[in-house]
C-alpha cells in the first residue's frame, strides 16, 4: 500500500489545514487508516464504529486482537451514542480534564463493535486537546479508534518520523505535524465502579483526579510487578517499549549511581560493546558512554516524559547494547507524574532495577 504523507506545520494557513484534514477525515469515513498527532503520542486512527476499520488497525500494528482500542471523540454530545450511561463522577472528570490526556472506561452501547473493544462490554473513550486531533476527529465523523501509532512492542511515537518508520506502506495516510507535547500515553481511569480505578498512570495524576471526585484507586499491577492478577487494562500485560539493548535502572545515592554506571559502561566499552545512559541534567557532565542522553532536571518529570520514547528509539538506531538509566522517582502510590514515567521506564527495562 502506498502511504500518503501530509505535512502540517504550526503557521500553515487555517484553510489549508482544514482542507488537508477534510481529506484525511474522508479516508476514515471510507474505512481507511490515518495516523495523526495528539498531545500525548501519535495515534493510528480508523472509524471506531466500523468493525472492518478496527480489524485493519490490529493488522497494521501487528497487535493482539484482545487488546482494546480507545475511541477518540471531539464533542461531549457524541458520548451518548457509544456509552450506556455517564456516571456522575465521569461527568465531573470530563468537565475537569476533557479535552486532555485522560481516557475513561464506560459500559459500551450496542453500536460500538466488539472488534473495537477487543470483545469487552466496556469502551475506552478520550477527548484529545490537540487542535489538529480535534478537527480531524470532527471531519472523520466524530468517532476515531486510535491506539498509539507504533508497531506492537515498539515505543509509542512522539515524532512523525517514527510513525513513518513503523507505518509506511501499512496505512493510507500519515499526518506529519510537530512533535507531541506530553510524550507518554493518557491516564486511563475505569469509571464503571463506585470508586474509579487508575488502570494506566499518565499526566493526569491520582491527586488531580481525587481533587475532583474524592477517592481514586490504583490497579495494584501498576506498582506490583509480581502481582498474581492480570492488569485490568489488557494492554498493560504486554512487555511494551523494549529497546534492543539491555536496559537497567540504577537506584541509590546520586554519586553512587554515577560511579556504578561509569564502571559498567567502561567494562562493556572495553569489550567492544556500545553503551548508553539516560541521566539527569545535574549529573550529565560526569557520565562516560557512547551515547549520553540528558533527561532534564531531577525535580521535573516533564522533560524525561517527552524524551523517553525518543531516547529508546535513538539507542536502537545507534546500536547500543547496554543502557543504564537513573531512577526518576518511586513507583509507590501517588508520586504524581513521575510515577507514570517510572511505570513506562520499568516496562522498557523488563523491571530490571539495581540498588547501589
Using CB under 5 A, list all residues that contact Mg ion.
148
Per-residue contact flags (x/-) with ligand TXA for residues 245 to 284, judged by CB under 6 A: ----------------------------------------
Among 8, 238, 2, 249, smallest CA distance to 135 is for 8
Asked if 67 touches ligand TXA (CB under 6 A), the answer is yes
| Residue-level length of the chain | 356
Asked if 188 touches ligand TXA (CB under 6 A), the answer is yes
**Which cell numbers in the block locate residue 232?**
485490568
In the bound state with ligand TXA, the residue whose beta carbon lies nearer, of 179 and 234, is 234
Burial string for 30-55 (b: 16+ CB within 10 Å, else e) reads eebbbbbbbbbbbbbbbbbbbeebbe
Distance CA 117, CA 58 (A): 12
Phi, psi (rounded to 5 degrees) for 326: -65, 160
DSSP E strands in 114-237: the ranges are 122-126, 144-145, 173-176, 187-190, 197-200, 217-218
Distance CA 1, CA 341 (A): 36
Out of 35, 189, 199, 222, the residue judged to bind ligand TXA by CB under 6 A: 199
Minimum CB separation of residue 150 from ligand TXA in Å reads: 8
Asked if 137 touches ligand TXA (CB under 6 A), the answer is no
**Which cell numbers in the block locate residue 89?**
463522577
The piece of 7-15, 65-73, 87-95, 278-286 that touches ligand TXA (CB under 6 A) is: 65-73
> 199, 190 in Cβ contact below 8 A?
yes
**What's the distance, CA 18 to chain centroid?**
26
**Which cell numbers in the block locate residue 167?**
507505518
Out of 172, 176, 185, 326, the residue judged to bind ligand TXA by CB under 6 A: 185
Asked if 148 touches ligand TXA (CB under 6 A), the answer is yes
Asked if 151 touches ligand TXA (CB under 6 A), the answer is no
Residues in region 23-42 near ligand TXA by CB under 6 A: 38, 40-41
**Which cell numbers in the block locate residue 349?**
527495562
Out of 186, 221, 264, 290, the residue judged to bind ligand TXA by CB under 6 A: 186
- Helices 88-97 & 206-213 angle (0-180, nearest 10): 120
Minimum CB separation of residue 207 from ligand TXA in Å reads: 19
Residue 247: name its binding partner from ligand TXA, Mg ion, none (Cβ under 5 to 8 Å by kind).
none
Asked if 53 touches ligand TXA (CB under 6 A), the answer is no
Binding site for ligand TXA (CB under 6 A): 38, 40-41, 43, 67-70, 103, 105, 117, 120, 122-124, 126, 146-148, 185-186, 188, 199, 232-236
Amino acid at each position: 500500500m502506498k502511504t500518503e504523507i501530509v505535512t502540517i506545520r504550526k503557521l500553515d494557513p487555517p484553510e489549508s489545514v482544514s482542507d488537508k484534514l477534510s481529506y484525511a477525515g474522508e479516508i476514515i469515513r471510507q474505512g481507511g487508516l490515518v495516523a495523526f498527532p495528539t498531545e500525548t503520542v501519535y495515534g493510528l486512527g480508523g472509524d471506531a464504529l466500523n468493525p472492518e476499520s478496527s480489524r485493519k488497525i490490529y493488522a497494521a500494528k501487528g497487535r493482539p486482537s484482545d487488546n482494546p482500542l480507545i475511541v477518540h471523540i471531539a464533542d461531549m454530545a457524541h458520548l451518548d451514542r457509544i456509552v450506556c450511561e455517564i456516571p456522575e463522577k465521569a461527568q465531573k472528570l470530563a468537565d475537569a480534564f476533557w479535552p486532555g490526556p485522560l481516557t475513561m472506561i464506560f459500559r459500551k452501547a450496542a453500536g460500538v463493535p466488539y472488534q473495537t473493544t477487543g470483545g469487552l462490554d466496556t469502551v475506552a473513550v478520550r477527548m484529545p486537546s490537540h487542535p489538529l486531533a480535534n478537527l480531524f476527529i470532527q471531519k472523520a465523523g466524530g468517532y476515531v479508534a486510535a491506539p498509539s501509532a507504533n508497531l506492537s512492542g515498539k515505543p509509542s511515537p512522539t515524532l512523525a518520523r517514527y510513525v513513518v518508520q513503523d507505518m509506511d506502506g501499512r496505512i493510507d495516510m500519515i499526518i506529519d505535524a510537530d512533535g507531541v507535547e506530553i510524550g507518554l500515553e493518557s491516564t486511563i481511569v475505569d469509571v464503571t465502579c463506585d470508586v474509579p480505578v487508575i488502570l494506566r498512570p499518565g499526566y493526569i495524576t491520582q491527586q488531580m483526579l481525587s481533587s475532583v471526585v474524592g477517592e481514586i484507586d490504583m490497579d495494584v499491577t501498576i506498582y506490583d510487578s509480581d502481582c498474581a492478577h492480570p492488569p485490568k487494562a489488557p494492554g498493560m500485560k504486554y512487555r511494551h517499549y523494549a529497546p534492543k539493548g539491555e536496559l537497567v535502572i540504577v537506584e541509590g545515592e546520586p554519586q553512587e549511581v554515577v560511579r556504578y554506571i561509569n564502571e559498567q559502561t567502561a567494562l562493556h566499552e572495553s569489550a567492544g560493546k556500545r553503551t548508553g545512559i539516560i541521566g539527569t541534567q545535574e549529573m550529565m557532565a560526569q557520565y562516560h558512554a557512547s551515547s549520553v542522553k540528558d533527561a532534564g532536571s531531577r525535580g521535573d518529570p516533564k522533560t524525561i516524559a517527552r524524551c523517553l520514547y525518543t531516547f529508546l528509539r535513538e539507542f536502537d538506531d545507534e546500536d547500543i547494547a547496554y543502557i543504564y538509566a537513573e531512577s526518576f522517582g518511586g513507583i509507590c502510590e501517588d508520586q504524581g507524574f513521575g510515577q507514570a514515567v517510572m511505570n513506562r521506564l520499568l516496562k522498557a527495562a523488563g523491571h530490571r532495577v539495581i540498588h547501589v
